[in-house]
């Protein structure tokens, strides 16, 4: 009897794992589709295009995570800045490819008015993100990690990388699923225009 119950429990666990794996595959496939088709709420229609600005701001949950030292942080800590929030992971090939461009964007525009918040969802925590940063020479981006991966659900991210542009009040004004050349002249000039407009 105990063996039968254990067998049923094992089968239920395998089924649950299979369903979870299928959900991840579907989410990844949707992300790839949106990336290749230019999808997303306010898409960049190609890697060299600028960043739009939605007329109607969308509220964003106050996502909680930790910094590279393990200290608790939240999106609300960045109020007053325009934030480019990028949800990524070290096991995501497009994420890895675009990270140097995000680093260069932070080096170019980062400061009191703007910050790239690269939020890793690696379950390896800050150590995994920091190791990756060291491997490819990331110097300007801070380490932020949501090892629980709750951010993807709360932000309704259909795949990674997912990038949101948040205004100074922490509201979503634009998003893109898939990678981009974040340090392209078009994107930098577009972001500078958004910064000027939001400061007035």
d(CA 99, CA 92): 11
Every domain of the chain and the residues it spans: 3-199
* 172 touches 60 (CB < 8 A): yes
Cα 103 from Cα 106, distance rounded (Å): 5
Nearest to 185 by CA among 109, 117, 111: 109
**Angle 24-28-33 from CA coordinates, rounded to 5°:** 150
pTM for the full model?
A: 0.76
Is the separation of the CB atoms in 107 and 188 below 8 Å?
Answer: no
What's the confidence (pLDDT) of residue 35? 38
- CATH level 3 topology of 3-199: Glutaredoxin (3.40.30)
Report the pLDDT value the prediction gives residue 30, as an integer from 0 to 100.
39
Q: What is the pLDDT of residue 40?
A: 36
The answer to whether the beta carbons of residues 161 and 96 sit under 8 Å apart is: no
For each of the chain's 200 residues, which pLDDT tens digit applies?
556 665 565 566 455 434 443 343 344 433 433 333 333 333 333 334 567 666 689 999 999 999 999 999 999 999 999 999 999 999 999 999 999 999 999 999 999 999 999 999 999 999 999 999 999 999 999 999 999 999 999 999 999 999 999 999 999 999 999 999 999 999 999 999 999 988 87
């Amino acid at each position: 009897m105990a063996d039968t119950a254990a067998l049923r429990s094992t089968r239920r666990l395998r089924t649950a794992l299979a369903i979870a794996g299928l959900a991840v595959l579907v989410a990844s496939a949707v992300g790839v589709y949106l990336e290749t088709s230019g999808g997303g709420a306010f898409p960049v229609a190609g890697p060299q295009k600028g960043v739009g600005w939605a007329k109607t701001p969308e509220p964003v949950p106050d996502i909680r995570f930790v910094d590279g030292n393990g200290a608790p942080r939240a999106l609300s800590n960045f109020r007053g800045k325009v934030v480019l929030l990028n949800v990524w992971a070290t096991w995501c090939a497009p994420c890895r490819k675009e990270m140097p461009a995000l680093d260069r964007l932070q080096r170019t525009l980062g400061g009191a008015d703007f910050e790239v918040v690269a939020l890793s969802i690696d379950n390896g925590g800050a150590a995994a993100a920091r190791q990756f940063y060291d491997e490819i020479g990331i110097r300007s981006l801070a380490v932020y990690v949501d090892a629980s991966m709750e951010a993807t659900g709360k932000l309704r991210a259909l795949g990674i990388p997912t990038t949101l542009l948040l205004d100074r009040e922490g509201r979503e004004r634009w998003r893109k699923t898939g990678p981009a050349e974040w340090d392209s002249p078009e994107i930098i000039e577009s972001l500078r225009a958004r910064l000027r407009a939001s400061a007035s």
